[in-house]
Amino acid sequence: MRFHGFLTMVLILLCVPAAAQAQAGIYAFADAHGVIHFTNMPSDPRYASMTRVHYRSSANRGAGTARVNRHDADRFQPLVEQAAREHGVDRALLQAVITAESGYDPYAISRKGAVGLMQLMPETARRYGVRNLYDPAENIQGGAKYLRELMTRFNNDLALALAAYNAGEDAIVQHGNRIPPYRETLLYVPRVMELYRRYRLGSR
């Protein structure tokens, strides 16, 4: 099942009782062209190498409610630090975005189809050369590049950059370079900025 069928599958999953959904899983992989394939029944031999991932209702690009896996948070810090250095993004900002987006779950998938630690949409991943959305290093690199570009585009206005990360760049422009009045975005921006403040204080 290719990406365009993913939303249909998610709607089906949402109809499953909570107890069953907790055990539900789908299988996903990105092919050589960066196209993501999903299925819940990997019967075809071509799907033998697919990764089983749990659907995370908490990873929904903006709720900021994902529970942080502290072991993974520590494990991925070298990748965060490397991406921060290479792309001129504050390490604490990357930590805040990852915390809000995925809770450091590299297999998180949102209802909208965003994937991985920094919840990259497939088109954004292709834009920044991310071939495997589930690879923590690639995902963090892609997210850091995107944040750097957003900061540059919006004159280092952090609130606007975060709003664009959540709602898309076009939404910012369409609303006169202001944070769009979307409930999710209005919750997301202060949530990430507060996490950013905490991470900065913790690193001193």
> What does the chain look like in DSSP terms, one character per residue?
-BGGGHHHHHHHHHTS-HHHHHH--EEEEE-TTS-EEEES---SGGGTTPEEE---TT-SSS---PPP-HHHHHHTHHHHHHHHHHHT--HHHHHHHHHHHHTT-TT-B-TT--BTTTTB-HHHHHHTT-S-TT-HHHHHHHHHHHHHHHHHHTTT-HHHHHHHHHH-HHHHHHTTSS----HHHHHHHHHHHHHHHHHHHHT-
Please pick, among 81, 86, 101, 123, the residue that the annotation labels catalytic: 101
Is 184 assigned a catalytic role? no
Where in the sequence numbering do the catalytic residues fall? 101
